[in-house]
Amino acid sequence: MADFSLPLPRPIVLCADDFGLAPGVSNAIAELIAAGRLSATSCMSNCGDWRRAAAMLRETVATHPADIGLHLTLTDHAPLSPARCLVSDGRLPPLSHLLPRALFRRLPAAAIHDELRAQLDVFEDIWGAPPDYIDGHQHVHLLPTVREAVVDEILRRYPAKRVWVRDCVEPAPRCAKRGVSVSKALFISQLGRGLRQLGREAGLPMNEGFSGLHEFSSGRSFRERMQAFLVGLGRRPLVHVHPGRVDAALLACDSLTSPREAELAYLAGDDFAADLAAAGVRLARFSELSASTSKASSANSGSIR
């Protein structure tokens, strides 16, 4: 008898960045997790809303499990450590200053290590557990000196190697096919190759497939962009988003405002569920990516390619 069953949806991690940045962002992310519209969120432990919002997040994931990670922040906000030779007037530098220093390997390694450890300390003190994964605000975890600090600290602090690291490498053909901020995607992908190599050599768990990069400008709707992000996913894909509501706290600390509300509206709506089904994917935690890859490898072990 012919088997007409449909293939099972593939698992993907859908991660909202910037939890803890401002109440409007944190509350929106918690609501989406509770509604089953996110499977992970990355937390800014050096930002003002983290202490308040962590309790709310803990209650949310108790009934709606999700992965909770550290969103390492080295730009624009106040540090948790002295961060000597990195901070100016009590603030971490803008990305436009941090990036060239990193590319020319002029970042103060000791200060980077100190700030990473401080942010992990505060995360663990308030959350009561290690992060499920680590990534970076504005992708700073990919930068030279920073990436070495991230891998070294994970190995020192979490020797069981259960803390995942966000891999932002994507093949150029996938970036071109999506047609969304292609130059940005190619740059981030190239920047991420050093971290990928370090992570693999260290045996750290990492996603394979990364999308969600865009310019947050007008033009294509966020639905059109998400439909593109779901095309040609890797073996263990991660898609990152930035939902939120604009409030006074957000306006005071970040330039990304109204596009967050467009992402929130889409992720909370019916179109999003329909687009996931059309793409043949379902939201999942990082552990399910590993299980899915293992099953696929076992199923293909005897096949002829």
Residue 269: both structure tokens together:
């709506």
pLDDT value at position 197? 98
Contact between 72 and 135 (Cβ < 8 Å): yes
pLDDT, tens digit, for every residue of 191-211? 999 999 999 999 999 999 999
Nearest to 53 by CA among 244, 287, 257: 244
Average pLDDT value for residue range 226-246: 97
Identity of residue 195: L
Q: How far is CA 132 from the centre of its chain?
A: 11
pLDDT, tens digit, for every residue of 206-234? 999 999 999 998 678 999 999 999 999 99
pLDDT, tens digit, for every residue of 116-132? 999 999 999 999 999 99
Q: What percent of the chain has pLDDT over 70?
A: 93
DSSP strand pairing (133-136 vs 164-165): parallel
40 has pLDDT over 70: yes
For residue 231, the 8-state DSSP code is S
Contact between 60 and 22 (Cβ < 8 Å): no
Q: How far is CA 214 from the centre of its chain?
A: 14
301 has pLDDT over 50: no
Which residues in 101-114 are b (16+ Cβ under 10 Å) and which e?
A: bbeeeebeeebbbb
Identity of residue 126: I
- Residue labelled with tokens 């370090």: 198
- CA count, 13 A, side-chain hemisphere, 180: 25
pLDDT, tens digit, for every residue of 3-38? 556 678 999 999 999 999 999 999 999 999 999 999
Average pLDDT value for residue range 39-61: 97
pLDDT classification of 296: cutoffs 50, 70, 90: very low
Alpha-carbon gap, residue 212 to 15, rounded angstroms: 10
Alpha-carbon gap, residue 220 to 177, rounded angstroms: 16
* Burial group, residue 279, by CB count within 10 angstroms (0-12, 13-18, 19+): middle
305 has pLDDT over 50: no
Question: Hey, what domains does the chain have and what are their CATH numbers?
Answer: 10-297 (3.20.20.370)
249 has pLDDT over 80: yes
Residue 268: both structure tokens together:
């909370």
Please report which residue ranges of the chain form alpha helices under DSSP H: 23-34, 50-63, 95-103, 109-127, 146-157, 172-178, 182-191, 193-202, 222-229, 248-253, 258-268, 270-279, 286-300
- Residue labelled with tokens 């499977």: 39
